[in-house]
């Protein structure tokens, strides 16, 4: 990765990008514009996804314990809110606010109880589960390594919860963390080079410039460089993995570093990141990674639990909770990379998943909002106080000028490397992995 020197060092690890794009044709400037002006008081309104998410949060407070989840119907651009045993007055208020209200059988409390049963009885490497508000059930996924008695245990646990509460499906790949990503970052460790992706530039709580990436990257190595053979430019300050998340806060070593709040999507284009955004089931999201470039997909579940095969204990499991589940593809090297919305919302950091960008699969992301809250960091330009203009930003040696719509440039990202944290070669993407 190249970078340009200016009087005060500017970090040109752009927020999550390399060269060409895939999925670019989808980012149309006004594709999700709100169209609710003509809606009647109790007629479902149309919203862009971020506005739907805000409304869902407000309605959750209004409906209280009867709120049973929500999702965004991207085809109709409507917010669908599930209600379990809600009173007529609260439902009427939700409808007046423009939501589509749907009566369902399972409350959030019941679904969380089912998830706890899974945690107790089916914490097996290669499994995951998340609430799917579209079906009002827990969706359990088992990867290709879950066979024999382990598969029997998963099936019997799901069956004990009842067909109206949980379902299970098999995934062709294997859950793994994906080492490598956004704009590539590197660290030299015993046994080889660890490669991950930068997620989003932030300002640490002490005002210093920093960035977020995957927690399993921060656990794997302490110091990070913007080139495979370069000197370290940043040091891990905090790292969480496994447990309640998969995120790291990494501080730039030079306090004068200027870290623009943008995602570099290649071809001289960037997307300005203006806010942290909670994910909404059903919304379209975009992922940028240094291995596979730009890809899009849909949020399919929230508060997901993923049981990765432990990288340090052959018989152990690394359980991570609170993740976003999507059908966006990713591959080794994409770990830590940016998940964002068309209008500049920072949504997630690539954690891991199954499959690849040829056959597809599931990918899980650490919510940015949770990572910011845990680390005390804030989104926005860090360090020497320049704005996040793209004129000095570089990717792959080409100058980047101005901002652009990441979905409007076409082309598929070609792989730029096959980082393997163990130094033994490229991962084939066939298992449930983390994406360092």
* Predicted local confidence at residue 113, as pLDDT: 95
Dump pLDDT digits (tens) for 33-43.
344 443 345 68
Dump pLDDT digits (tens) for 10-20.
454 545 443 33
96 and 110, same structural domain? no
pLDDT of 371 over the 90 cut: yes
Burial of 374 from C-beta contacts in 10 A (0-12 / 13-18 / 19+)? middle
Q: How many domains does the chain have?
A: 2
Hey, which residues are catalytic here? 216, 246, 335
178 and 87, same structural domain? no
Which of 1-10, 334-343, 401-410 is most confident?
334-343
> Six-digit token pair at 95?
């409808």
* Predicted local confidence at residue 333, as pLDDT: 81
Domain of residue 98: give its range.
Answer: 37-103
When comparing pLDDT for 184 and 165, which is higher?
A: 165
The single-letter DSSP state of residue 102 is: E
Domain edge (last residue) among 103, 120, 140: 103
> Six-digit token pair at 3?
């970078």
Percent of the chain with pLDDT over 70: 75
On whether the CB atoms of residues 187 and 223 are closer than 8 A, the answer is yes
89 and 10, same structural domain? no
- Indicate whether 264 belongs to any domain: yes
pTM metric for this prediction: 0.77
Domain edge (last residue) among 85, 103, 121: 103
For 44, residues 6+ apart whose C-beta sits below 8 A from its C-beta are 76, 78, 95, 98, 99, 100
For the ranges 55-69, 77-91, 214-228, 396-410, which has the lowest average pLDDT? 396-410
124 and 83, same structural domain? no
131 and 51, same structural domain? no
Average pLDDT over residues 1-6: 31
Q: Which helix (H) or strand (E) holds 95?
A: helix 88-96
User: Coil, helix or strand for 4?
Assistant: coil
Dump pLDDT digits (tens) for 285-338.
999 988 888 999 999 999 999 999 887 787 789 999 999 999 999 888 888 999
């Amino acid at each position: 990765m190249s970078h340009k020197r200016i009087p005060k060092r500017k970090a040109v690890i752009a927020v999550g990008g390399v060269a060409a794009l895939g999925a670019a044709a989808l980012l149309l400037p006004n594709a999700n514009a709100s169209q609710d002006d003509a809606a009647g008081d109790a007629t479902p309104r149309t919203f862009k996804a971020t506005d739907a998410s805000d409304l869902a949060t407000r309605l959750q407070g209004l409906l209280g314990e009867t709120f049973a989840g929500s999702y965004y119907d991207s085809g109709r651009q409507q917010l669908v809110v599930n209600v379990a045993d809600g009173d007529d007055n609260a439902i009427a208020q939700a409808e007046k606010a423009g939501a589509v209200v749907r009566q369902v059988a399972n409350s959030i409390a019941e679904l969380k109880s089912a998830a706890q049963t899974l945690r107790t009885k089916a914490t097996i490497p290669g499994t995951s589960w998340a609430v799917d508000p579209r079906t009002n059930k827990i969706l359990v996924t088992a990867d290709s390594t879950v066979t024999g008695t382990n598969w029997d245990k998963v099936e019997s646990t799901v069956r004990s919860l009842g067909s109206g509460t949980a379902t299970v499906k098999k995934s062709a790949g294997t859950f793994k963390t994906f080492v490598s990503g956004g704009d590539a970052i590197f660290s030299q460790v015993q046994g080889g080079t660890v490669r991950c992706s930068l997620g989003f530039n932030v300002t640490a709580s002490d005002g210093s410039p920093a960035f977020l990436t995957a927690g399993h990257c921060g656990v794997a190595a302490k110091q990070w460089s913007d080139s495979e053979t370069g000197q370290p430019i940043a040091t891990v300050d905090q790292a969480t993995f496994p447990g309640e998340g998969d995120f790291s806060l990494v501080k730039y070593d030079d306090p004068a570093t200027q870290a623009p709040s943008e995602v570099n999507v290649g071809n001289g284009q960037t997307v300005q990141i203006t806010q942290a955004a909670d994910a909404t089931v059903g919304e379209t999201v975009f992922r940028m990674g240094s291995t596979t470039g730009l890809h899009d997909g849909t949020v399919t579940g929230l508060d997901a639990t993923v049981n990765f095969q432990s990288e340090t204990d052959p018989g152990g499991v690394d359980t991570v909770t609170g993740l976003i589940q999507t059908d966006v593809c990713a591959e080794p090297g994409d770990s830590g990379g940016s998940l964002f919305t068309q209008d500049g919302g920072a949504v997630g950091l690539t954690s891991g998943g199954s499959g690849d960008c040829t056959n597809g699969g599931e990918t899980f992301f650490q919510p940015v909002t949770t990572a910011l809250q845990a680390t005390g960091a804030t989104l926005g330009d860090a360090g020497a106080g320049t704005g996040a203009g793209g004129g000095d930003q570089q990717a792959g040696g080409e100058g980047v000028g101005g901002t652009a719509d990441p979905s409007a440039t076409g082309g598929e990202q070609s792989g730029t490397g096959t980082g393997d944290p163990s130094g033994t070669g490229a991962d084939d993407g066939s298992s449930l992995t983390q994406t360092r």
